[in-house]
């Protein structure tokens, strides 16, 4: 019998997805602060795969931990699920491996599920990104505009002086000129050491996180995950793949990317009905990290759906410790 393709995802998956990120987050949290990035990432992968294989889906990982020959990671092209509608999956079982290893803020377990063919099949290259949260007029940001123009545009739309805008940027040498340009406007900057999915997601709730706009380059797969989250909240995002070598252009072509200079808008990175979930591994601006009690484990998760723009925040106490 041919597999069915969903016309809109079953809303039951929204809650079942929470279990997937909870399990990965708890597994990784047991190793936070231990200094072993690979071990923390591997246990998160194993836990996430186990839960995904219990879901009533025929899922294909399109944004994952690497290529097939890098197994046992959740590799691109891996099929997961117990059978059901066909879906695309983007995931990062431990977003911020270094953050977790050092027990620093904002490590997350993250996943997005969308209708088949709805997520951008992005190669593992850098992507130039710009993002803002919901509530702004369409076109408030432009990846081809200068940092000063984008900061001024957000400030105007928000109805505040430029000095009251905060930009989130990865703290990398490649961003030295960008940081200088943003600071020249008078805007503030929140520098983050790792975890640019979390950085983009923070724009969804600036009143809580203090972050209004995300700027800079980071991984393209992480850009697709972040776009999925923003689609669910009504945010805006643009991205351009940095294909700066013949090898990268050729690899992108095998994934169906024929225009290396194309600007991808959020609807092109994550189309249709999208579900997104993230559970805190370490304490952060939006989500608390996993708490281990004597007889319970507490998790904090946000789960989003694009079709309804529903944002659910779930604080769960798990008392059956054998299941973790």
pLDDT of residue 70: 52
Assess whether pLDDT exceeds 60 at residue 7. Answer: no
Which parts are annotated binding residues for substrate? 95-97, 126, 172-174, 194-196, 219
> Do residues 277 and 113 lie in contact, with contact meaning Cβ atoms separated by under 8 Å?
no
- Domain boundary residue among 230, 245, 267? 267
For residue 153, the domain's CATH number is 3.40.190.90
Nearest to 46 by CA among 87, 78, 93, 1: 93
303 lies in some domain = yes
Residue 156 lies in a domain: yes
Residue 4 lies in a domain: no
Q: Same domain for 85 and 42?
A: yes
More confident residue, 9 or 202: 202
Give the pLDDT of residue 142.
Answer: 98
Among 251, 267, 283, residue at a domain's last position: 267
200 in Cβ contact with 208 (< 8 Å)? no
**296-to-27, 292, 323 alpha-carbon distances in Å:** 14, 6, 11
- Do 152 and 235 share a domain, yes or no? yes
The reply to whether 324 falls in a domain is no
Secondary-structure breakdown of the chain: helix, strand, coil percentages, each rounded to the nearest 5:
35, 25, 35
Choose the final residue of a domain: 267, 286, 305. 267
- Split into its structural domains, the chain has a count of 2
Give residue-wise pLDDT tens across range 270-283.
999 999 999 999 99
Q: Is residue 30 part of a domain?
A: yes
Crossing angle of helices 176-185/147-158, nearest 10°?
40
Tell me the residue range of the domain where 212 lies: 124-267
Pair 159, 222 in one domain: yes
What digits encode the pLDDT tens for the residues 164-208?
Answer: 999 999 999 999 999 999 999 999 999 998 888 999 999 999 998
Q: Which two tokens stand for residue 162?
A: 């430029």
Please report, in range form, the residues annotated as the binding site.
41, 65, 92, 95-97, 126, 172-174, 194-196, 219, 222
Q: Report the share of the chain in percent with pLDDT over 70.
A: 95
Q: Is 169 exposed, middle or buried, given 0-12, 13-18 or 19+ CB atoms closer than 10 A?
A: buried
**158 close to 210: Cβ distance less than 8 angstroms:** no
**198: its two tokens:** 């979390």
Feature table: binding site for Mn(2+): 41, 65, 92, 95, 222
d(CA 21, CA 197): 15
The set of residues, in sequence order, having a beta carbon less than 8 Å from that of 77 and lying 6+ positions away, is 60, 61, 62, 64, 68
The pTM score is 0.91
Query: 88-125, pLDDT tens digit by residue?
Result: 999 999 999 999 999 999 999 999 999 999 999 888 89
Q: What three-state secondary structure class fits 247?
A: helix
Q: How are beta strands 86-95 and 108-115 bridged, if at all?
A: antiparallel
By C-alpha distance, which of 228, 214, 62 is closest to 130?
A: 214
Which tens digits make up the pLDDT trace of 127-165? 999 999 999 999 999 999 999 999 999 999 999 999 999
178 shares its domain with 221: yes
């Amino acid at each position: 019998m041919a597999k069915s393709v969903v016309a809109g995802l079953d809303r039951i998956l929204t809650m079942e997805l929470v279990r997937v990120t909870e399990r990965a987050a708890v597994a990784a949290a047991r190793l936070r602060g231990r200094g072993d990035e690979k071990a923390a990432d591997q246990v998160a992968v194993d836990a996430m795969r186990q839960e995904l294989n219990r879901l009533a889906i025929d899922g294909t990982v399109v944004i994952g931990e690497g290529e097939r020959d890098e197994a046992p990671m959740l590799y691109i092209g891996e099929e997961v699920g117990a059978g059901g509608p066909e879906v695309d999956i983007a995931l990062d079982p431990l977003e911020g491996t270094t953050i977790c290893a050092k027990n620093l803020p904002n490590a997350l377990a993250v996943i997005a599920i969308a209708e088949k063919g709805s997520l951008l099949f992005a190669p593992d290259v850098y992507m130039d990104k710009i993002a803002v949260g919901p509530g702004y007029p369409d076109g408030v940001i432009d990846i081809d505009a200068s940092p000063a123009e984008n900061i001024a545009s957000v400030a105007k739309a928000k109805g505040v002086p430029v000095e009251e805008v905060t930009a989130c940027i990865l703290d990398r040498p490649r961003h030295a000129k960008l940081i200088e340009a943003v600071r020249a406007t008078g805007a503030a900057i929140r520098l983050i050491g790792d975890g640019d999915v979390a950085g983009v997601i923070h724009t969804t709730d600036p009143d809580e996180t203090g972050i209004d706009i995300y700027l800079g380059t980071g991984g393209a797969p992480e850009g697709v995950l972040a776009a999925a989250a923003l689609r669910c909240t009504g945010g805006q995002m643009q991205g351009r793949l940095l294909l700066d070598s013949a090898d990268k252009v050729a690899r992108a072509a095998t994934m169906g990317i024929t225009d290396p200079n194309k600007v991808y808008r959020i609807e092109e990175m994550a189309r249709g009905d999208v579900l997104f979930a993230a559970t805190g591994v370490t304490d952060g601006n939006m989500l608390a990290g996993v708490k281990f009690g004597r007889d319970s484990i507490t998790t904090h998760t946000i789960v989003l759906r694009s079709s309804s723009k529903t944002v659910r925040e779930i604080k769960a106490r798990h008392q059956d410790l054998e299941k973790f």
